[in-house]
Homo-oligomer: A and B are copies of this chain.
C-alpha cells in the first residue's frame, strides 16, 4: 500500500529531486514518516522556513536541479516568502510542498487555517492543490517539470493532510520540462549587424549566461567587436577568478550604473532585463537606460541564452578567443580590519573551487576587485534584495556540492534575519566558513538615508539604523548554535582564522570587526 505522501516523495526522487529542506508541523507528519520509506530522499531540518527556502535556492543554484521544501500551512509559507522572492528573482527552480489541513477540516476555521494560494501565487510561479490521493504522484511530477522550465521558477504544491495520509497513491514518472526557446536566427543576425556597425554597444548578460560558457562567448564578442560585455548587477551564480573572463558588473548604485552606461548607443540584453534603479530616489531617473540608447534583446528569460550568445559569437567573433583572467591574488594585508583590507584577506586566501555566498552588502563593495584574480570560484548574490539570504543559501550550496568549500560573506544586520541557519550547518557538518562583517550598523541604510534626501538625521532616525547598544557577539551566537567561532579585529587574525577554518572540515564562523564604510 502506498499513501499520498509516499507517492509524492517517490515521484520527486524519480524526477531527480532527492533533497528536501523542511520545517514540518502536524499536518506534515505523514510526509515526515514517509521519508523513511524512500531511501533516495534526504531530509534536512532547518529551524525556520526562511532558512528552508533560502537553502533550496542555494542548492539549486549549485546543483542545477531543484530541491523540495516542506512548509507548514499558510504561516510557514509566509515565513518562507522572502527567500522565495530572492529565488524567484534568481530564476531558481524550487519545488515547494506546503501541508494544509485535511480537506474536510478546512471549513472549521481552526486557529491555523488560512488561505495558501494567494501566498503561493505571490511568487509568480506554478501553483496547484492536490485534489485526490490518486493525483499526487502526477502533481509532483508536474511540479518538478514546471520548476525546471527555463529559466526556472517556484512550483508550489499544496498538500492537504488527508491526501497525504490516504492510501491509493501512485508514483508517476518524470515529466520533461518545456524546452528553452531557441534564439531567432534573424534576431541574432540583426544584432551581429549592430555590433559590426562600430557604434558604441554594451552587451549585458544575466541568468544562465553568467557561467563559463556565457562569459566566454560574451568576452569573445567584446574582444572581436569592441562592444563592452557586462554582467547584470545581481547574478544568481557568477563564475569568476583565474582562467575565467572577468566581465565588468553593472553597479548597484544608480549613479554607478549611469556612469557605466553613459554614451551607449546600443544596449543588447541576453538573459536579463533592461537595468533599472534598485530604489526610487527623489528627482532621479528609475530607468537606467541612457536617453538615445536603443535596446535589443538577444535572448529573453525563457530562451536558451548560452546558445544565443554562442551563435552571435560565431557570427562576429569566429576566430576570437576569450581572454581569461590571469591569476593574481592580492598580498596579505596587516593592521586593524578596514573595509579595504578584509577583502584582500579573502582574495589572498580563497581556495580553488570555492563557492561564495555573498551578502556582505556595503562591507563587500571592494570584494570583486580583491578576488578577481583568485582561484576560480562561483559567487551567489542577493538577487531579490530581501535580506537574510546569505546563510541559508550557503547551507543549500554546501549540500549541493560537498566537494567544494563554501564561504558565506555576511553582513551583520542581514545575518540576524535567518541566524538559525548556523544550526543546520552544524547538524549537517557542512564545510562552510562564515565571515560576519560586523560593523554594528545597518550601514547601507545610513547611506540610503542620505541618498533619498531625507531632511533630518536626528537621534531617533539614527537609532533605527544602529546595531550597537548592544553590539552583537556573533562568535557567541554561533557557538550557541553549535558552530565553532572566533573574533577577528586585525587582518592578521582574520587571515589566521580564515586559513584554519578552511583547513578543518565542518562549519566555522569568524566575527570580523570591520568598521563601516559610511
Contacts and interface: CB of A to CB of B under 8 A. Distances in A.
Given A280-B101, A452-B165, A423 B427 contact: no
Contacts of A481: 470, 472, 477
Interface string A363-388: 00000000000000000000111101
Contact of A105 (B32, B279, B452, B471): B279
Q: Pick the most buried of A109, A162, A279, A413: most chain B CB atoms within 10 A of its CB.
A: A279
Contacts of A287: 108
A33 B457 contact: yes
A30 B472 contact: no
Nearest to A45: B464
B43 A108 contact: no
Contact of A108 (B111, B114, B286): B286
Contacts of A278: 26, 110-112
Interface string A31-54: 011111100000101011010000
Interface in A447-482: 448-449, 451-461, 463-467, 469-482
A74 interface: yes
A89 B369 CA distance: 51
A167 to B, nearest CB: 10
Given A48-B417, A386-B75, A456 B37 contact: yes
A457 B45 CA distance: 16
B35 A460 contact: yes
Given A48-B416, A74-B122, A427-B469, A276 B81 contact: no
Given A416-B47, A470-B423, A481-B470, A165 B282 contact: yes
B473 A479 contact: yes
Given A32-B454, A79-B82, A480 B482 contact: no
Nearest to A160: B280
Contacts of A85: 74-75, 78, 112, 114
21 contacts: A25-B448, A29-B452, A32-B445, A32-B461, A35-B461, A36-B460, A45-B463, A47-B416, A74-B122, A75-B85, A78-B85, A79-B388, A89-B111, A102-B286, A109-B276, A110-B276, A111-B383, A417-B420, A423-B472, A473-B482, A477-B480
